[in-house]
Amino acid sequence: MHEMALAEGVLGIIESAQRAQHFHAVRVVRLEIGELAGVEVAALLSCLDIALRRSVAHAARIECATAPGRGWCMDCARSVSIATLYASCPHCGGAQVQATDGLQMRVQDLMVE
């Protein structure tokens, strides 16, 4: 989808961290991408490869953790595990599941020097 815009977002966060913290290289960028965030991780990594090319993070390793999807089943009244936004409840099979977690896309931390 819009992975290039996301890669530019990561670059912006790194540049802004650099202005505040004064480092000269980023070794590792740790991301957390929710299972339900609609992000194609392979595409994001390929976009990051381009977006970070001329930046302080050009040689950085990208570590991408997946945050599992969770939802609230309105029929069971409990939190359940879901892998898609349209998943049915694994317990009752009902479709009334509201996504509650796994929608995030975050830069968690940077290893810098």
Partner 1 sequence: MCNVCGCGQGETRIEGKPDVTATAHAHPLGHRHGHDHDHIHDHDHAHGDAHEHDHAHTHLQDVQLAQHAAQGHAHEHAHGTRADDLHYGRGAAHAHAPGLSQARMLRIEQDILASNNAHATDNRRWLEAHGVFAVNLVSSPGSGKTTLLVRTIEALRDALRIAVIEGDQQTTHDADRIRATGTRALQINTGKGCHLDAAMLGHALEHLHPEDDSLLLIENVGNLVCPASFDLGEAHKVVVLSVTEGEDKPLKYPDMFHAADLMLLNKIDLLPHVHFDVEQCVACAHQVKPGLQVLQVSAQSGAGMEAWLDWLRRGVSGAREQRRHAIDTLQQRIAELEIQLAAKA
| Residues making contact with partner 1 (CB under 8 A) | 1-6, 8-10, 12-13, 15-17, 19-21, 23, 27, 31, 37-38, 40, 43, 46-47, 50, 74, 84-86, 88, 95-99, 104-113
Rounded alpha-carbon distances, angstroms, from residue 26 to 62, 81, 82 = 10, 35, 34
Phi, psi at 44, each rounded to 5°: -60, -45
CB of 103 to partner 1, least distance (A): 8
CB of 42 to partner 1, least distance (A): 10
**Residue 84: CB minimum distance to partner 1, A:** 7
Q: What is the DSSP string of 51-77?
A: HTTTSTTTTPEEEEEEEPPEEEETTTT
- Beta-bridge mates of residue 98: 72
